[in-house]
């Protein structure tokens, strides 16, 4: 877990961060930018499969995803796993741990990831000096809450087909928004799908097969290609949320 991680002093200026150019993110003031630049303590690169954060650990850092993606999950003692959400570029990772002591979940990379590292001890300074940024952070936490609500609805009340349809539509939507998947392709295994939706691997496979038959998706080696995102959304009774400007960092 340590060997896969690699912290280096930030070499990239926040002002020139390519993420900031994406129209989905709100524009920062000059003073905000320079503060964030100061707030940032370094870069972290992890490879696919690496565990970024571990449930139960105390971690002095807070991260923003710059590229790549991963997932947050929790485990039961006997190994049952529940994926709780996915993290993508622009997302803040580790806020819970910052505010409440030890981490209540782990996060693992689904692809190589690059993250910006912040010091959680300095978070309060941010609150004191930049209420706008503080507000942004609350906004992000609120958005996460919103996604979790929807996931609960899915896992609790949608049928298996609706579940898979929802998940794929949801993940693709977010991936596109954050600039991850331009071609409608998602690199995740059926085991991930199963662990997100609370169904078994076998049943997940058979459910996906039905969607493949109906030409909603195509499963390729180590990932899937979404052929009809709107159709999936309809099937699940879900609509992509507001794609208003959102803050990050």
Of these partners, DNA, its own copies, none, which one is at the site of residue 153 (CB under 5 to 8 Å by kind)?
Answer: its own copies
* Least Cβ distance, residue 23 to DNA (angstroms): 32
* Least Cβ distance, residue 138 to its own copies (angstroms): 5
- Residues linked to residue 139 through DSSP beta bridges, in sequence order: none
Of these partners, its own copies, DNA, none, which one is at the site of residue 60 (CB under 5 to 8 Å by kind)?
Answer: none
* Least Cβ distance, residue 219 to DNA (angstroms): 5
- Cβ proximity of 115 and 65 under 8 Å: yes
In angstroms, the Cα distances linking 176 to 19, 89, 193 are 13, 10, 18
Of these partners, its own copies, DNA, none, which one is at the site of residue 209 (CB under 5 to 8 Å by kind)?
Answer: DNA
For the chain, the farthest-separated pair of C-alpha atoms sits apart, in whole angstroms, at 55
- Residues linked to residue 117 through DSSP beta bridges, in sequence order: 42, 63
Q: Which residues of this chain interact with its own copies, rule CB under 8 A?
A: 72, 74, 76-77, 80-82, 84, 95-96, 99-101, 104-105, 124, 127-128, 131-132, 134-135, 137-139, 141-146, 148-153, 155-158, 195-198, 237, 242, 244
The backbone torsions φ and ψ at residue 233, rounded to the nearest 5 degrees and listed phi first, read -60, -45
Distance CA 78, CA 184 (A): 35
* Least Cβ distance, residue 59 to its own copies (angstroms): 15
């Amino acid at each position: 877990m340590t060997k896969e991680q690699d912290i280096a002093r930030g070499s990239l200026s926040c002002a020139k961060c390519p993420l900031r150019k994406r129209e989905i993110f709100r524009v920062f003031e000059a003073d905000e930018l320079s503060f964030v630049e100061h707030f940032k303590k370094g870069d972290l690169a992890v490879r696919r499969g690496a565990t970024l954060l571990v449930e139960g650990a105390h971690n002095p850092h807070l991260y923003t995803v710059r590229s790549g993606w991963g997932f947050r999950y929790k485990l039961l003692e006997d190994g049952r796993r529940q994926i709780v959400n996915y993290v993508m570029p622009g997302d803040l990772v580790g806020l819970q741990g910052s505010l409440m002591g030890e981490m209540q979940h782990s996060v693992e990379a689904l692809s190589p990831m690059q993250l910006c590292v912040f010091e959680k001890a300095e978070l309060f300074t941010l609150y004191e000096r930049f209420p706008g940024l503080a507000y942004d952070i609350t906004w992000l936490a609120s958005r996460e809450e919103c996604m979790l609500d929807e996931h609960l609805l899915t896992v609790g009340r949608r049928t298996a087909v609706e579940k898979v349809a929802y998940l794929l539509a949801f993940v693709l939507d977010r991936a596109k928004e954050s600039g991850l998947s331009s071609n409608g392709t998602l690199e995740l295994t059926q085991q991930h799908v199963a662990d997100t939706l609370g169904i078994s691997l076998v049943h997940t496979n058979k459910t996906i097969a039905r969607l493949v038959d109906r030409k909603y998706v195509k499963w390729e080696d180590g990932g899937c290609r979404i052929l009809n995102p709107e159709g999936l959304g309809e099937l699940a009774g879900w609509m992509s949320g507001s794609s208003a400007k959102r803050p990050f960092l």
